[in-house]
Amino acid sequence: MSRWFNQIVLSVALLVGVVGGWSLRDGAGQYVSTSRAFANVTVEYQQGSFAWLAPDGRRAHLSFVVTNGSARAATLESLDIHLLFGEDFAGTNYDPFVPVAVPVGESRLVDLEILVTSLSKLPLAGTSELAVRGNATFRFAGIQRARGLDVRGEIGVVPLPSGFGGGR
């Protein structure tokens, strides 16, 4: 009786070990695939794309270049961008983001509209050093988890066009 019991226990332990090893291998593979895919996508502010859309400096347009250098198709699921006047938050892209598919080896241009909501900073529109900070969320084909990527860009001073009010 004890011999059969030992064989059953040994068989169950072996089965659990094989299943555990398979799960560990699968998890490690997912991690490596995710890391490789994630390391090869970029979101960069397109220099010169920033433009004021409103005469009072409350709305602006800017573009980002999203590049997928990974071996997997990617989808940019969200892009949350904050406009800074100097080091201070001035506004963000409040409109719902429409996901953007980025095939392997390709780039996409993503246009955003920024709404300046920090009214105490509004007088600085057109004279302040501008920058963007934010987060991009990607999902890759064949990988379950979405991944976040920090986004940073320096814009510089962008004067309000002549004829626009505010900012001075």
Predicted pLDDT of residue 21: 67
CA distance 159 to 164: 10
Predicted pLDDT of residue 168: 39
pLDDT digits (tens, 9 = 90+) for 120-162: 998 999 999 999 999 999 999 999 899 999 999 999 999 998 7
C-beta atoms surrounding 1 within 10 Å: 5
What is the DSSP code (8-state) at residue 160? P
Predicted pLDDT of residue 36: 54
Structure tokens at 92: 């963000």
On the CB side of 50, how many CA atoms lie within 13 Å of its CA?
23
Higher pLDDT, 124 or 2: 124
- Radius of gyration, CA atoms only, the chain: 25
- Where do the domains of the chain lie? 40-157
59-68/41-45 β-pairing:
antiparallel
pTM of the model: 0.76
pLDDT digits (tens, 9 = 90+) for 68-79: 999 999 999 999
Predicted pLDDT of residue 27: 57
| Section 101-116 average pLDDT | 98
**What backbone torsions phi and psi does residue 4 show, to the nearest 5 degrees?**
-65, -40
Domain 40-157 top-level CATH class: mainly beta
Q: Do the Cβ atoms of 67 and 96 come closer than 8 Å?
A: no
